[in-house]
Each structure stands twice: as C-alpha cells, then as structure tokens.
C-alpha cells in the first residue's frame, strides 16, 4: 500500500519524519511525505477556533491516486458534528484520514509532557486513523491502537501497536 502524508506548514519536520518511517514499517508500505495543504476560511468555526474535519477530508480525497491512502496532518484543532473535538477522522470510502496535533502536547500528573511522548501520541493517532482506512473498527482492548480514544490518557494507555486480533487485518 502507498500512503501520502499531506501536512499544513505548521507541522514540524521531526513529527513528519517519525510518522513517515513508522507508518512504512507498521503497514509494510511506501509513505510519501512532503506535500502540503492549506486550511480554508470556510472550514474554520471562528467562535470555536476549530476547523471542521469532514469537509477537509472531502476536499483532499481527490489529491491522490484513487487506490492510495492519504493521511493529512495539521496543528489546527479539529471538530466534527456532535463532538467537541476530534484527535482525527477517517473517511474509509475515500481512503483519506486526518489527524490533529493540537491536543497532544499536554501533560498530566502521572505523565509529564516530553518530546518523545508527543511523537508517540502522534504516531498512535496516525496508526489508528490509517487502521480505520483498512476497515478496522474500534477494538474493545484498551491497549490496542484501535481502541477509541477520548482523552490523552486513553491515547497514552494504548500506544501505536495493534492487538493480535486487529493485527490480522494488516497488509
């Protein structure tokens, strides 16, 4: 499989390289990064200071070959209908997903924030969304990357690896 990573220009190259290397390993595929995209004024909810993820995916889906996968990465905070925020969203039929790094930079008493923790969280969210693009749904196992994450605590508890059941779906 081939994954295209598209980023907004505020995304640090360290994160990008980390995602590129690790997604290639996890999904045994080719990962192309280096393309950028811009968020549109009309996708911003000014009062919330957040961008709506679904229209972004809809727009980006045509920017890659149909059979390939696209992962958009942005520092902007994202939301979707009915949700205060989303770490990411996947649009299975279009093979397009997006993750936001905006909420991955906080620490909490048991887990002080570090650069390494940030990279792990970014990879966890990226693997989760690409997992959805392969048709893998949410997993009841809290330590599996496909477990639904509602907080950084959930994200840190699971990490970027698949449980043995979900692993069966990988290429």
- Catalytic positions, written as ranges: 129
Beta carbon nearer to Zn ion, 119 or 146: 146
What is the helix (H) or strand (E) element at residue 52, kind and residue range? Answer: strand 50-52
Distance of closest approach, residue 78 Cβ to Zn ion, in angstroms = 13
CA-nearest of 76, 87, 85, 102 to 132 is: 87
The 3-state DSSP class for residue 157 equals: helix
Distance of closest approach, residue 166 Cβ to Zn ion, in angstroms = 3
d(CA 78, CA 72): 12
CA-nearest of 105, 72, 99, 96 to 87 is: 99
Beta carbon nearer to Zn ion, 107 or 142: 142
d(CA 63, CA 119): 26
Distance of closest approach, residue 144 Cβ to Zn ion, in angstroms = 3
Which parts of this chain interact with Zn ion (CB under 5 A)? 139, 141, 144, 146, 163, 166
Beta carbon nearer to Zn ion, 123 or 139: 139
Distance of closest approach, residue 98 Cβ to Zn ion, in angstroms = 12
- HSE (CB half, 13 Å, CA atoms) of 8? 16
Beta carbon nearer to Zn ion, 102 or 163: 163
């Amino acid at each position: 499989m081939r994954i295209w990573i598209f980023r907004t220009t505020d995304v640090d190259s360290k994160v990008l390289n980390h995602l590129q290397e690790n997604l290639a390993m996890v999904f045994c595929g080719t990962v192309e990064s280096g393309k950028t995209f811009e968020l549109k004024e009309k996708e911003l909810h000014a009062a919330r200071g957040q961008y709506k993820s679904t229209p972004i995916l809809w727009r980006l889906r045509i920017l890659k070959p149909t059979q390939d996968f696209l992962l958009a990465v942005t520092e902007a905070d994202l939301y979707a209908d009915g949700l205060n925020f989303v770490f990411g969203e996947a649009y299975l039929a279009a093979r397009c997903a997006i993750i936001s790094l905006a909420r991955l930079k906080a620490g909490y008493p048991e887990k002080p924030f570090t650069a390494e923790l940030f990279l792990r969280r970014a990879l966890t969210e990226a693997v989760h969304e690409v997992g959805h693009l392969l048709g893998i749904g949410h997993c009841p196992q809290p330590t599996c990357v496909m477990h639904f994450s509602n907080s950084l605590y959930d994200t840190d508890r699971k990490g970027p690896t698949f449980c043995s059941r979900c692993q069966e779906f990988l290429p």
